[in-house]
Amino acid sequence: SQTIHQWPATLVQPVGSPLSLECTVEGTSNPNLYWYRQAAGRGLQLLFYSVGIGQISSEVPQNLSASRPQDRQFILSSKKLLLSDSGFYLCAWARPPTSGSSYEQYFGPGTRLTVT
Amino acid sequence: AQSVTQLDSHVSVSEGTPVLLRCNYSSSYSPSLFWYVQHPNKGLQLLLKYTSAATLVKGINGFEAEFKKSETSFHLTKPSAHMSDAAEYFCVVRSNTGNQFYFGTGTSLTVIP
């Protein structure tokens, strides 16, 4: 079966510090990978998605970046955090549309980031 | 372009009474639609999905949804609410390319004992 991991679960960082959040998927290959942010009491905002190694699509211009160094690894980074970067960060994966099977998204447990 | 609209930001029901969470979609093709549930500080869990098969879709925890093309709706229902159903619910449509998913703004369900 497939599983998705995110770490850390919680993080408190000062303004201006760097950020690195990691997401890994097990039990599948060539997944589409996604990073979302959820502000308090709000819906999900798509930040980045990737259809393959080194292929990143950015949905919202901001001080965040994403990388996919391996097939099942997706990393969200920032060089300098802003207060507005606080939120709940969710990683998700889905089978690519060419797989021929239904491809709902599967979500990780999330990372709660507080920027102080 | 694809989108979904969740018609209620908050729904409150008494325990044991029916639940109705409303979702309308916009799509230029036959859509794939999903409902997810999110409990506080947790990831999203798939409740059910519609992918052009039966229009009445049964999901986990007693939830079901009916795809109505004429009404462009995909409402989520449950005959009898439990306290454990209190959570945030999201309606989602997949893009025609299949690589993106478009989320509604969410409906917060409160269950009153």
Cα–Cα distance for residue pair A89/A96, rounded to 1 Å: 22
Chain B residues with CB under 8 Å of A94 CB are 101
- Given a cut of 70, whether residue A102 has pLDDT beyond it is no
Say whether A96 and B98 touch across the interface (CB within 8 A): yes
pLDDT for the residue A61: 64
Q: What is the pLDDT of residues A2-33, one digit of tens each?
A: 899 999 999 999 999 999 999 999 998 899 99
Domains of chain B: 3-102 (2.60.40.10)
Six token digits for residue A97: 């549309």
Q: What pLDDT score does A81 carry?
A: 96
Segment A58-96, tens digit of pLDDT:
888 678 999 999 999 999 999 999 999 999 999 999 987
Which residues, at least 6 apart from A74, have a Cβ–Cβ distance to it below 8 Å?
A22, A23, A24, A33, A34, A35, A50, A66, A67, A68, A91
Question: Under an 8 A CB cutoff, do A105 and B46 touch?
Answer: yes
What chain A holds in terms of domains, given with CATH numbers, is 3-115 (2.60.40.10)
Query: What residues of chain B score a pLDDT lower than 70?
Result: none
**Over residues A88-110, mean pLDDT:** 85
- CB of B104 within 8 Å of a chain A CB? The answer is yes
Q: Report yes or no: B82 and B109 within 8 Å, Cβ to Cβ.
A: no
User: Least CA distance to A10: which residue of chain B?
Assistant: B41
Q: Which residues in chain A (70-89) have CB-CB distances under 8 A to chain B?
A: 88
pLDDT at site A100: 64
Q: Give contacts of A46 with chain B, Cβ < 8 Å.
A: 100-101
